C-alpha cells in the first residue's frame, strides 16, 4: 500500500499501539498464566479480577442451570484435589503440580483400579510425548485424567489408587464487559474467551490483546461507532450473550474475535461468512498498512470459535477471527490444547503486532462510512478554503498521499461505496482521507449517507 512505510509519521495525530502497550500486555500475561480456569468457576472469576487491574471490566453473572437458546449454563467447576498413585505408592499424577492432569469438568472419583481400567480414563498426546493434553468433559458425565505419553508407556501392571475430588456447584457463568460509547449507538463487538486453564497462546494472548485494544480505543476522541468488549467462556459464553442481549445484537454490525494471538506466525484473519464484509476488508487493509502481506482464510468449519455462532443462522453477524496460528484443526501449532502451550510459546512483540493490526482494522471500520457529495461534477475547492495546496496539489508538483485523497474522494462519494472501498480502490491508507473528509464535511460538500 502506498504510504505504508511511514504511516506513523504521516498520520501523526493518531495514537497507535506502542511500547507501553507491549509492557502492559506482557505483565497481564504473566499474572494470568498460573491461574486454573474452566468455563465457570473460581479461576475464571479470579482471572477477570486480574484483568480489571488493567481495564475496568464490568463483571456480569448468569446463574447455573439457566436455559440459554437450547443450551443450559453449566455449574461452576472446582478441583479440590486429584492424584494417582502407582502400584508402588508413587504419586505419578498430581493436579497440584500439573492442572492438566484432570479433565476439566471431570466427575469426582475415588478408588483403586487396575492398569487396564485406568487406561480407559487416561488420554495422552503421542506426538508431544512429554506434554499433558487438555481434555474436557463439558456437557456430559465422565471422569478422566491426562498424562504424558512417555509416562503411559512406562506404567507397570497392578493396582492404581485414584482420587479425583471435584465439585460441580451451583454458581454463575461470568463475563467481563467494557463499553465505549461513540457518536452513534451502532456497536462493534470485540470478544475473546478466557476459559482454558493456563493456555498462554490459546487464549490468554487473545484476551490481553482484546483488552489492550480497548485501552487504545478509549483514547480515540471521535469514535463513530460504539465498541463493546466481552471476555467470556468459549461456546456457552456467546450462546448466553446471543440469548440474553437481543437488543444489543440489533445494534451490532459485526466485529472481531481475538483468538491465539501470541505465537510467531504472521497475523491472519479468518473471514466472516459474508466473506467480504467491512470487517474482512478492514483487516486486509490493516495488514497492508502495517507492512504485512494479506494473510486471510475464508470462513471455515470451526470458524475460530465465537465467529461460528455469530455468523450462523438467526444471528448472521459478520464476526471475523484475528489470530496467528489459529486452531489445530487447520494446521495450527503442535502445542495447541496441551500443557506445552506456555509463556515460552508467545512473545510480547507478537502480542504487540497483533494489537497493531487489530487496532488499525478497527480504525478502518470506524472510518468506512458512506458519504454523498452535494456538488455536481467537481467543486471549485478554493472557494471553500479546502484546496490541498499544502499537500503539493495544484502547484505543479506531486501531491502527497493526503493531497491525492482529495482527488480520490471527489468523484467517489456516491453514497454507495464506503470510504474503505474508496481507499482500497486508490491504494491509499484510509487515514489519508481524514483531512479531506473533515474539510469536505465542514464545507458541506459531503454528507453522511450512513447516518443511523
User: How many CA within 13 A on the CB side of residue 342?
Assistant: 10
Q: How far is the CB of 305 from its own copies (least distance, A)?
A: 11
Taking the least distance from each CB to its own copies, the nearer of 239 and 345 is: 239
Taking the least distance from each CB to its own copies, the nearer of 142 and 294 is: 142
Give residues in contact with its own copies (CB under 8 A).
69-72, 123, 133, 135, 139-140, 235, 238-239, 242-243, 273, 298-303, 308-316, 329, 337, 372-373, 375-380, 382-383, 396, 398, 404, 407-408, 410-414, 425-426
Taking the least distance from each CB to its own copies, the nearer of 65 and 411 is: 411
Q: How far is the CB of 272 from its own copies (least distance, A)?
A: 10
Q: How far is the CB of 27 from its own copies (least distance, A)?
A: 33
Q: How far is the CB of 52 from its own copies (least distance, A)?
A: 28
Taking the least distance from each CB to its own copies, the nearer of 54 and 384 is: 384
> Taking a C-beta distance cutoff of 8 angstroms, is the pair 305, 234 a contact?
yes
Rounded to a whole number of angstroms, the CA Rg of the chain reads 25
**Cell 497481564 maps to which residue?**
28
Distance (Å, whole) CA 452 – CA 447 = 13
Q: How far is the CB of 364 from its own copies (least distance, A)?
A: 20
> Taking a C-beta distance cutoff of 8 angstroms, is the pair 299, 311 a contact?
yes
Q: How far is the CB of 73 from its own copies (least distance, A)?
A: 12
Taking the least distance from each CB to its own copies, the nearer of 94 and 243 is: 243
Taking the least distance from each CB to its own copies, the nearer of 97 and 380 is: 380
Q: Which three cell numbers stand for residue 76?
A: 461452576
Taking the least distance from each CB to its own copies, the nearer of 33 and 71 is: 71
Q: How far is the CB of 260 from its own copies (least distance, A)?
A: 17
Taking the least distance from each CB to its own copies, the nearer of 315 and 452 is: 315
Q: How far is the CB of 380 from its own copies (least distance, A)?
A: 5
Taking the least distance from each CB to its own copies, the nearer of 86 and 234 is: 234
Q: How far is the CB of 420 from its own copies (least distance, A)?
A: 17
Taking the least distance from each CB to its own copies, the nearer of 19 and 396 is: 396
Q: How far is the CB of 50 from its own copies (least distance, A)?
A: 28
Taking the least distance from each CB to its own copies, the nearer of 114 and 414 is: 414
Mention every residue, 6+ apart, whose C-beta is less than 8 A from residue 56.
178
Q: How far is the CB of 375 from its own copies (least distance, A)?
A: 6
Closest C-alpha to 353, from 287, 430, 280: 287
Closest C-alpha to 21, from 349, 391, 282, 338: 349
Mention every residue, 6+ apart, whose C-beta is less than 8 A from residue 29.
200, 204, 205, 208, 262, 343, 346, 348, 351
**Cell 467470556 maps to which residue?**
232
In angstroms, what CA-CA distances link 224 with 164, 186, 217, 330, 452? Answer: 52, 9, 11, 35, 11
Amino acid at each position: 500500500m502506498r504510504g505504508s512505510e511511514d504511516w506513523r509519521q504521516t498520520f501523526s495525530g493518531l495514537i497507535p499501539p506502542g511500547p507501553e502497550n507491549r509492557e502492559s500486555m506482557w505483565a497481564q500475561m504473566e499474572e494470568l498464566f498460573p491461574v486454573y480456569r474452566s468455563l465457570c468457576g473460581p479461576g475464571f472469576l479470579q482471572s477477570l479480577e486480574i484483568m480489571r487491574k488493567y481495564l475496568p471490566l464490568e463483571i456480569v453473572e448468569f446463574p447455573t442451570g439457566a436455559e440459554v437458546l437450547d443450551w443450559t449454563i453449566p455449574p461452576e467447576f472446582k478441583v479440590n484435589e486429584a492424584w494417582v498413585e502407582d502400584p508402588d505408592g508413587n504419586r505419578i499424577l498430581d493436579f497440584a503440580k500439573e492442572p492438566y492432569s484432570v479433565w476439566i469438568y471431570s466427575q469426582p472419583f475415588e478408588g483403586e483400579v487396575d492398569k487396564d481400567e485406568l487406561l480407559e480414563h487416561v488420554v495422552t498426546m503421542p506426538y508431544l510425548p512429554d506434554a499433558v493434553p487438555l481434555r474436557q468433559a463439558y456437557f456430559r458425565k465422565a471422569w478422566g485424567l491426562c498424562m504424558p505419553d512417555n509416562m503411559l508407556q512406562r506404567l507397570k501392571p497392578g493396582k492404581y489408587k485414584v482420587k479425583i475430588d471435584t465439585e460441580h456447584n451451583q454458581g454463575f457463568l461470568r463475563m467481563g464487559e467494557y463499553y465505549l460509547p461513540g457518536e452513534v449507538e451502532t456497536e462493534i463487538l470485540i470478544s475473546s474467551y478466557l476459559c482454558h486453564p493456563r493456555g498462554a497462546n490459546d487464549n490468554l494472548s487473545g484476551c490481553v490483546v482484546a483488552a489492550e485494544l480497548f485501552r487504545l480505543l478509549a483514547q480515540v476522541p471521535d469514535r463513530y461507532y460504539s465498541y463493546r468488549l466481552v471476555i467470556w467462556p468459549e461456546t456457552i459464553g456467546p450462546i448466553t450473550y446471543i440469548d440474553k442481549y437481543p437488543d444489543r445484537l440489533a445494534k451490532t454490525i459485526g466485529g472481531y474475535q481475538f483468538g491465539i494471538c501470541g505465537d510467531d506466525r504472521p497475523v491472519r484473519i479468518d473471514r466472516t461468512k459474508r466473506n467480504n464484509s467491512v470487517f474482512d476488508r478492514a483487516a486486509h487493509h490493516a495488514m497492508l498498512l502495517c507492512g504485512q502481506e494479506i494473510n486471510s482464510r475464508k470462513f471455515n468449519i470451526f470458524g475460530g470459535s465465537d465467529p461460528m455462532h455469530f455468523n450462523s443462522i438467526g444471528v448472521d453477524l459478520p464476526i471475523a477471527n484475528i489470530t496467528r496460528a489459529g486452531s489445530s484443526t487447520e494446521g495450527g501449532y503442535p502445542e495447541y490444547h496441551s500443557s506445552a502451550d506456555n509463556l515460552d510459546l508467545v512473545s510480547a512483540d507478537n502480542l504487540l503486532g497483533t494489537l497493531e493490526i487489530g487496532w488499525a482494522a478497527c480504525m478502518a471500520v470506524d472510518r468506512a462510512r458512506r458519504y454523498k457529495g452535494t456538488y455536481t461534477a467537481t467543486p471549485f475547492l478554493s472557494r471553500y478554503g479546502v484546496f490541498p495546496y499544502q499537500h503539493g496539489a495544484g502547484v505543479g508538483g506531486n501531491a502527497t498521499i493526503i493531497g491525492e485523497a482529495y482527488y480520490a474522494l471527489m468523484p467517489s462519494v456516491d453514497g454507495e461505496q464506503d470510504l474503505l472501498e474508496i481507499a482500497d480502490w486508490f491504494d491509499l491508507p484510509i487515514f489519508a482521507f481524514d483531512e479531506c473528509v473533515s474539510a469536505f464535511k465542514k464545507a458541506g460538500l459531503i454528507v453522511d449517507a450512513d447516518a443511523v
